[in-house]
């Protein structure tokens, strides 16, 4: 336990680096249909069957979530969408 306490900053930097790598890495793929006889060119990669995809990093996915949350919030306030009640 003494070694861990003495090297707290090393552990913090290591965890921060791992978190940054995880955020940058691909979390999902935006899929498109490409028949097997055609190749997928960069940045697309062949996924399976007749689909190619472009990798989406965690930062991109998070920014999409923030934009969608803001848009839905604005639409709720302005009355563009209304929540229904279940009976």
Asked if residue 73 belongs to a domain, the reply is yes
How many other C-beta atoms lie within 10 A of the C-beta of residue 14?
A: 11
The predicted structure's pLDDT at residue 79: 86
The predicted structure's pLDDT at residue 1: 64
The predicted structure's pLDDT at residue 35: 93
Confidence of residue 64 (pLDDT cuts 50, 70, 90): very high
Q: Which long-range contacts (CB under 8 A, 24 or more apart) does 51-58 make?
A: 53/29, 54/29, 54/30, 55/26, 55/28, 55/29, 56/26, 56/27, 56/28, 56/29, 56/30, 57/23, 57/24, 57/25, 57/26, 57/27, 58/22, 58/23, 58/24, 58/25, 58/27
Asked if residue 83 belongs to a domain, the reply is no
Residue 31, domain extent: 2-78
Domain count, the chain: 1
- pLDDT value at 34 more than 90: yes
Asked if residue 69 belongs to a domain, the reply is yes
Asked if residue 87 belongs to a domain, the reply is no
The predicted structure's pLDDT at residue 15: 94
């Amino acid at each position: 336990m003494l070694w861990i306490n003495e090297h707290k900053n090393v552990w913090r930097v290591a965890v921060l680096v791992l978190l940054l790598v995880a955020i940058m890495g691909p979390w999902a793929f935006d899929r498109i249909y490409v028949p097997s006889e055609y190749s997928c060119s960069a940045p697309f990669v062949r996924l399976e069957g007749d689909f190619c995809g472009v990798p989406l990093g965690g930062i991109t996915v998070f920014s999409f979530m923030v934009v969608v949350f803001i848009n839905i919030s604005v639409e709720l306030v302005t009355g563009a969408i209304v929540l229904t009640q279940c009976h």
